Structure 1
């Protein structure tokens, strides 16, 4: 039972980080990493402070992201663990000639540490399996598939994040 609880706590940590990255929310991101953590994304690496500065506020050219986490393979070893988590990350990027929609498929290799009963990332390496440029991005003013939006909160983080209001309503 304890292994199940630990694995679920690790998955929750990873989901909290993805949510924080997509919203550029420093508080959520800090809650997923130990302050002395390190990372290597192949295109950028360093300590947690460098990671946080890289992700928040994020590149001006990247207006929207969505990280979809897949299965996590987790090996527990006392107060440490290794986890491989599949990720598909969408990015809306201004590459100089207008916004383009791009997508990356890869895996996070995380070394997790439990301190005072809490699991967080101690080290992360990003592996890239594929990348695709999906082409010119849609103009949210047009709605989706020819149908206009009926309210301003539907296009997600592109115009604010309605989910923040959704979760706050339950408090």
Structure 2
């Protein structure tokens, strides 16, 4: 291959790696086993510090997820991608929001950290082979908003505007299981 073809291949690999990371974040937020499964290899290992295990154990932990966590949102920042043929080491900044029912009502919490992923391309497909989460900060923002009042003093025109981990309007928008 010439230098331009090598550069294009590397650009496509980086784009497919980022697509895999975004797909996993959405799958975790929606607790969607199909989407999560398309992002990790079946022999992968995941280590979040509070959980470490095989792909099957991880999937059982995330789907359906803790009943106490009613909503999540993972916002991904930049990814540093170190390509090495059909493998890559990737560090991705993440801010994860969690609405948690701690027994005295729902609270809004937020974690900042970084995913360290070892990724592999098998048969032309990039997925995560190993993931570790590094935690940089945590914040408990306090009691969660009561969505029945809308936002900023303005009521919602319908019940589908507030998000949930499972069963919210995004499932209708994309079609369940997508």
Q: What TM-score bracket applies, with the shorter chain setting the length?
A: over 0.9
Q: How far is the alpha carbon of 1:158 from its aligned partner?
A: 6.2
Provide the alpha-carbon RMSD of the alignment.
1.1
Q: TM-score, normalised by structure 2?
A: 0.91
**Structure 1, gaps ≥5 residues long:** none
1: distance between equivalents of 2:21 and 2:51?
Answer: 20
Relative to structure 1, is the Cα distance of residues 117 and 81 closer, same or farther in structure 2, using a 3 angstrom cutoff?
A: same
Q: TM-score, normalised by structure 1?
A: 0.95
2: distance between equivalents of 1:159 and 1:65?
Answer: 10
What pairs up with 1:19-168 in 2 under 5 angstroms?
19-157=26-164, 160-168=167-175
> Moved runs in structure 1, 4+ residues, more than 3 A?
none
Q: How far is the alpha carbon of 1:140 from its aligned partner?
A: 1.2
Larger Rg, first or second structure (1 or 2): 2
How many residue pairs are counted as aligned between the two chains? 168
**Structure 2, gaps ≥5 residues long:** 1-7
Q: For 2:70, what is the secondary structure of its paired residue?
A: strand
Q: For 2:121, what is the secondary structure of its paired residue?
A: strand
Deviation track 1:98-155 (CA, whole Å, cap 9, x = no partner) reads 1100000000000000000000000000000000000000111111111111122211
Q: How far is the alpha carbon of 1:165 from its aligned partner?
A: 2.4
1: distance between equivalents of 2:32 and 2:165?
Answer: 15
2:20 is the alignment partner of 1:13:
yes
Q: For 1:160, what is the secondary structure of its paired residue?
A: coil
2: distance between equivalents of 1:158 and 1:113?
Answer: 29
2: distance between equivalents of 1:79 and 1:19?
Answer: 24
Q: For 1:60, what is the secondary structure of its paired residue?
A: coil
Q: How far is the alpha carbon of 1:160 from its aligned partner?
A: 2.9
